[in-house]
Structure 1
């Protein structure tokens, strides 16, 4: 919200011709860029890195925006409502394309007050404690964990506050036998703490709560980071799978005799089915790296297409740039990937590549 107010000049997804989630995601990246720049500037002025991270102007502005939001400020809520609608509209289109629907949608914005009430009650009951700055914490060191912040010193909520409210609402409202959180393994510790706090609050969690943790799909150089814009977008991935299905189907003659709409429908079904199967066939605990081998093979296999384009467009620069990219990728691959490994089949395959 802060980045949008600073940089958007009133732009909307409609005015920019973007899906709502992509549009808002752009300002998520913009916020991080401004934040990093301000932190670096403050460090240059003599602050420690930790001090700079806490005193960056845009961070302070974001905290003030959160305070206004929780206080019910009309202007802040109006902007939040618009941006939320943009995001969920974009999400809905992606889910619809994937054939995914939900029986019930819950939002942290509707449960954070319950979470704050739960924390206040826990504080009164002596389960939590308050620091001198007014922040509220729970001490889980005896449980082999750590101390966890539950309310900031200005009274605003944190993720744990909101998750407490959401969990209690689900447990009380639905009387569930099992409540399964399907969330990435980056949040393993968070859910361990959440379940421990709920147990302290008197909720039976042993057989009712489960974090179905899954590993992440990563890029060769590390994990994707939405905040830095270093992601493979689901919409782009689906479009690519559709295109790949169309190319392969055409080569095999499976589109012969079909109308354009029938071709598109078939390629959509085949492409998305392949994508879903590829993800589902991987053990959720193992995750997957989008390896350099795949990138290298895709680049190598694009040679006929690049050659055809260069000839058709009478543009030898396309081939020159392709050759440069291919050599650069091979060089990077051989520098970062061991060839002579114990697995003879793998070694032979890599040598062949």
Structure 2
């Protein structure tokens, strides 16, 4: 701060006017006065430059000073906020205690609200009060309909009618971009009241759960399906699931020798493997690789036979050539002038 005050005092030393210091010349110009005037002007310009530098220093110092003050106040404010949060957490921690309340379910007594309407029984599920999923009656499923965009390879959808798990198997050329989606429509034998739908899904995600009444009106209960919802009189339930998981399997085959139902047999083999069932699938035979190997071996045998035959022919030709040359040499010796035509 003292440095800042020094700058201010230095700036006050600037003379208010300097016009009376310069004397106008009349008549004959005197070089001495002329030089004095310019010397004074130069001195004043130097002082002006000095004052300008002082003002610049004042400006920079002021900016630095204010920035330091703001940062300091900001840090102090953060410390105060931190202390306030710590105090708040301490008060929150010590100000109350959590208690778990146990609800006793009385399924025999009917509960009536102030308007005289019977209240459906409730239960506690995962810490939340939900409608009680008490089975009032068994509602058989009359029919199961499944819609899918991708052709199914193997399935046991009929297990739903017996309350057994369902597993579907798809064999694709590659992973489905958006997964494999299936929509199950479970039709009841009669209209029934439903308050909860328990779906045990494996390797899939539940996307949509809808209730359908006799007028074909749909009520979506996707988020409330597992915990419970207001009792609805419906004739069917529609559930859409999506599976994005897959297992990649590589097969080698000869497209010109493979069996006509190769991929169908592959699907049966993979399904049996997944289900832990036995399967007599002969991959080498059905893929045509065995026939390819046999054909290739036959080709190699033919090449070997041809090579052997060619070698035998060359040997016979060499023998005949040698015999011919020997006979010719003997004849030439016995007939020395036979070709002398001079």
Answer yes or no: same fold by TM over 0.5: no
**Higher gyration radius (CA):** 2
TM-score normalised by structure 1 residue count: 0.17
More helix by share: 1
More strand by share: 2
Which of 1 and 2 has higher RCO (CA within 8 Å, sep 6+)?
Answer: 1
TM-score normalised by structure 2 residue count: 0.17
